[in-house]
Structure 1
Amino acid sequence: MTERPSASDGASRRGFLKETAAVAGAAAIAASWAPMVHAGGSDIIKVGLVGSGGRGTGAAEQALTADKGNRLVAIADLFGDRLEESLSALRGSAVGGQVEIDQDRKYTGFDAYKQVIDQVDVVILASTPHFRPMHTAYAVEKGVHAFVEKPMAVDGPGLRKFLKAVQDAKAKNLAVVNGFCWRYHPPRRATMQQVFDGKIGEIRSIETTYNSSGVWEPRKTREECGSDMEYQQRNWYYYLWLSGDHIVEQAIHGLDTMGWAMGDKLPERCFGVGGRQTRTDAKYGNIYDHFSLVYEYEGGARGYHQCRHWVNTANQVKDYILGSEGTCDVFGNSISGKNKWSYRRDVGDRKTYDMYQVEHDEMYAALRKGEIINNGEQAAHSTLLGLMGRAAAYTGGIITPATILESEEDLSPAEYAFGSDPLPITPIPVPGFTKIL
């Protein structure tokens, strides 16, 4: 593992930020065939859903709300019961009339995503994070626009695969809209613009906190599942290879704010701690329950991130940006110090303040105009911050962007199949002994 950044680290950071530039000319040429979606509000846009859990179901409803010409025509999930629950909720919602899925367009299994993508104009990718790179790559290969939930990968090889798909999407003039929803919240956008306009002076540090009681408890016992694979998939949040750990799956929102504040410039290095202090039972898989990290940026700015999943403790989800002339309370939509400022909400359509809805409103409005939103690189950047922080806590070492971007540590199983027992899990990381390949 790299202890200090080498000369190649700067090249890796520059490559991350510039790697899509090479396809700009190809994208300009490809712009003449913005595939499948055309101007004109009466045109039907065929939408597919891959991953029909709570977030996927919500995203599908928001996609249908965003454009009355949208139709949900195909759906996929690993499990038929989850698929039917999602369809029932969608059909009973305000957009139920836009759900046009009959029995032969409901797909289950590991390859079900292909059957959906093969017949739609836009796909919502909301399965467990492990599958995000392969699903995105297939959508781009097939010329399909994609709304891609966060995070973008759970390991270095997956992140590189996702970045390659983003490059290819630009060359094909395809939309890749990410699910880092905090960047779509109008009051937060206005607040961050104050920071970019210099209202707090030079940024000295960013503090992001995502301390919560955790997520859902494991849903199934091993006895209730037909195989190790089913058991881990049903309880995916608690398995490193599926979720990437909670710093990558959930607290990544705070790291996205850090990246946003720093203009998506990569930090030079990261170090910190983490562990399992309260979730010690084997039913909680192999992820940590807390992290505390420091990100060091060129020029001396530092980012401090803390997250934990502890019940019966004080919760806090807050972001602060500290500058030479003031402090920005990002959640409070206010600035204190030399240039005091606070956001004032306009009276009007409250839907404009629903960040989840804004994601889809902007995506489909752009598509109707023949325009493309591709913010995949920003999503990869924020995912990289999460992977760096996880690696720092797992190993106890100093992690650079190159540590992850050049890593060969692939968390994928040997095969994707139910009944392929045993499906062992990697040991719980031990700092000082766990290494990054």
Structure 2
Amino acid sequence: MTNEDSSKNAATRRVFVKQTGILAGGLIAAPLMSKANFFSGSDDTIKIALIGCGGRGTGAALQALLSKQKVKLVAMADAFRDRLDDCYKTLTADDISDYSSTVKNLKAQVDVPEERKFVGFDAYQKAIALADVVLLTTPPGFRPIHFEEAVKQGKQIFMEKPVATDPAGIQRVIAAAAIAKQKKLNVVVGLQRHYQNSYRELFKRKDLIGDITSAQAWWNNDGVWVRPRQAGQTEMEYQMRNWYYFNWLCGDHINEQHIHNIDVINWFKNAHPVKAQGMGGRQVRKGKDHGEIFDHHYVEFTYADGSILNSQCRHIPGTMSRVDELLVGTKGKILCGAGSIVDLKGNSLYKFDSTKENNPYQTEHEELFAAIAKGEYKFADAENGARSTMTSILGRLATYSGQIIEWDKAINSGLDIHPKVYAWDATPPIVPNSDGFYPIAVPGVTKYF
């Protein structure tokens, strides 16, 4: 790229960032727009704000900073100061290893003085106002309100999956996504299979298997971390620290992890299920610090064309471990993990060259920031993120209740499992009994509709 081309791209990006904030009938007030662009200045540096400074947020910030564009982190926000400090320390270390083991010093790209470090439930609003692009990486229960605010302020957006934990949150995301489209705001959702070379190549060739008649999806492994209750914590702080085990924050592991596999099936079918039924429970992971979520789910999702997705996810140590997808068609099968397509007799129709695999976590940021640098409106992932998240939630409602749950009834139910007030002394939507255990869904007893 010549210097002249670089200057043209910089000018294009500045116009793009400015224009996207004033579209959609003046939804962004002029004073706010001025504040949002204060740090952008006249150069071509893309300013980012990190909302959620845990492990995934730290990883997302790292990947954004390692993109090929001129990117600078200018603001950080988290509910907890210690998480923000740990993230800042990691990003400003002398040597940082990303997911590809590339080592680079990023200190020059991190410009977050004390006055641009925000802590608390309202911290996100302040950080969002200072950037061109926001990274939304808090626990997923907060995603709808953070996404709404980012769209309202006219920002380009990367947000992690899942995008909600209940049907009410899904509706908020869908509504904000429509406004994002009007404003031509790029939105990338961290369903990284869409940015992985092997999956992209399989998708291009999915017609080799004919019409998809059934599918299987797995996320079976030992499980994740647990953060025990500490002395002096309010109930709200404990649940926020141990967020994986509370549905208003996580949505259960069928939503937080298994969404990846479910999303692949929806993507290849270009559809979502119309109903679900299944089974699940807590067989091994059932301590006080395990909150309310199940440790296994098995769901039969039915699509409008009659095809079935059999979905299973499990967090039980010592059991079969598999994270994968399989699609079966009238002419053959797609084995996603193997990167291969075979006919119904097992003969090879296509095999992905594994030497051409990429790091999809990095690619999703590379492509997003490249589009922003060029002034392009290219990504509108929010609706797909909402659709796959809602599929996962549908599965949870089915396993918790033991009933057949219909998509239309669920998504339009208004079911909202969130607190009425976000404050450290507020009461969360679920609390423990006198023995310290939380109420658990009971199939056949728990009802939603």
TM-score range, shorter chain: 0.7 to 0.9
Q: Which has the higher contact order (CA 8 A, sep 6+)?
A: 1
4+ residue runs over 4 A deviation: 29-33
Map residues 194-233 of structure 1 onto 2, 5 A cutoff. 194-195=205-206, 198-217=207-226, 219-223=227-231, 225-233=232-240
Do the aligned partners of residues 68 and 370 (structure 1) sit closer, same or farther apart at CA in structure 2, a change above 3 Å counting?
closer
Q: Tell whether the 8 Å contact from 2:190 to 2:364 is kept in structure 1 after alignment.
A: yes
Shift of 1:42: 5.8
Distance in 2 (alpha carbons) for counterparts of 1:84 and 1:304: 42
Shift of 1:115: 0.7
Tell whether 2:130 aligns with 1:119.
yes
Give the letter aligned to residue 375 of structure 2.
G
> Match for residue 251 of structure 2?
244
Q: What residue ranges of structure 2 are gaps of 5+ in the alignment? A: 1-19, 27-32, 97-103, 432-437
How far does the alpha carbon of each residue in 1:287-320 deviate from its partner, in whole angstroms, 9 at most, with x for none? 1110001111222211110000001212111111
Do the aligned partners of residues 269 and 192 (structure 1) sit closer, same or farther apart at CA in structure 2, a change above 3 Å counting?
same
Q: Tell whether the 8 Å contact from 1:31 to 1:173 is kept in structure 2 after alignment.
A: no
Local SS of the residue matching 2:266: helix
> Match for residue 60 of structure 1?
61
Which of 148, 165, 171 is the matching residue for 1:137? 148
Distance in 1 (alpha carbons) for counterparts of 2:199 and 2:360: 10
Which of 421, 426, 431 is the matching residue for 2:443? 431
- Alpha-carbon RMSD: 2.3
Tell whether 2:350 aligns with 1:344.
no
Tell whether 2:109 aligns with 1:98.
yes
Query: What TM-score, normalized to structure 1?
Result: 0.87
How far does the alpha carbon of each residue in 1:341-372 deviate from its partner, in whole angstroms, 9 at most, with x for none? 1011456xxxx700000101111111122112
Q: What residue ranges of structure 1 are gaps of 5+ in the alignment? A: 1-26
Distance in 2 (alpha carbons) for counterparts of 1:374 and 1:112: 26
Q: Tell whether the 8 Å contact from 1:226 to 1:419 is kept in structure 2 after alignment.
A: no
Do the aligned partners of residues 374 and 423 (structure 1) sit closer, same or farther apart at CA in structure 2, a change above 3 Å counting?
closer
Which of 175, 197, 213 is the matching residue for 1:186? 197
Which of 306, 326, 331 is the matching residue for 1:325? 331
Local SS of the residue matching 1:192: helix
> Match for residue 186 of structure 2?
175
How far does the alpha carbon of each residue in 1:372-402 deviate from its partner, in whole angstroms, 9 at most, with x for none? 2111111111001101100110111111211
Query: What TM-score, normalized to structure 2?
Result: 0.85
> Match for residue 412 of structure 2?
406
> Match for residue 16 of structure 1?
none
Q: Tell whether the 8 Å contact from 1:326 to 1:339 is kept in structure 2 after alignment.
A: no
Shift of 1:55: 0.6
Shift of 1:324: 1.5
Give the letter aligned to residue 413 of structure 1.
P
Shift of 1:431: 1.2
How far does the alpha carbon of each residue in 1:222-269 deviate from its partner, in whole angstroms, 9 at most, with x for none? 42x421111100000011111000000111111001101111x12221
Tell whether 2:430 aligns with 1:419.
no
> Match for residue 258 of structure 1?
265
Distance in 2 (alpha carbons) for counterparts of 1:32 and 1:358: 33
Local SS of the residue matching 1:340: strand
Distance in 1 (alpha carbons) for counterparts of 2:310 and 2:85: 42
Q: Tell whether the 8 Å contact from 1:156 to 1:410 is kept in structure 2 after alignment.
A: yes
Local SS of the residue matching 1:335: strand
Distance in 2 (alpha carbons) for counterparts of 1:31 and 1:232: 38
Aligned residues, how many? 399
Q: Tell whether the 8 Å contact from 1:203 to 1:322 is kept in structure 2 after alignment.
A: yes
Local SS of the residue matching 1:76: strand
Local SS of the residue matching 2:220: strand
How far does the alpha carbon of each residue in 1:165-223 deviate from its partner, in whole angstroms, 9 at most, with x for none? 1011111111111110111101111012111xx11122111110000100112x23242
Do the aligned partners of residues 109 and 32 (structure 1) sit closer, same or farther apart at CA in structure 2, a change above 3 Å counting?
closer
Q: Tell whether the 8 Å contact from 1:286 to 1:427 is kept in structure 2 after alignment.
A: yes
Shift of 1:422: 7.5
Local SS of the residue matching 2:414: coil
Identity of aligned residues (%): 39
> Match for residue 278 of structure 2?
272
> Match for residue 12 of structure 2?
none
Shift of 1:119: 0.9
Distance in 2 (alpha carbons) for counterparts of 1:221 and 1:414: 23
> Match for residue 292 of structure 1?
298
Which of 241, 245, 249 is the matching residue for 1:234? 241
Distance in 2 (alpha carbons) for counterparts of 1:346 and 1:427: 49
Shift of 1:408: 2.2
Distance in 1 (alpha carbons) for counterparts of 2:265 and 2:43: 40
Which of 97, 109, 133 is the matching residue for 2:120? 109
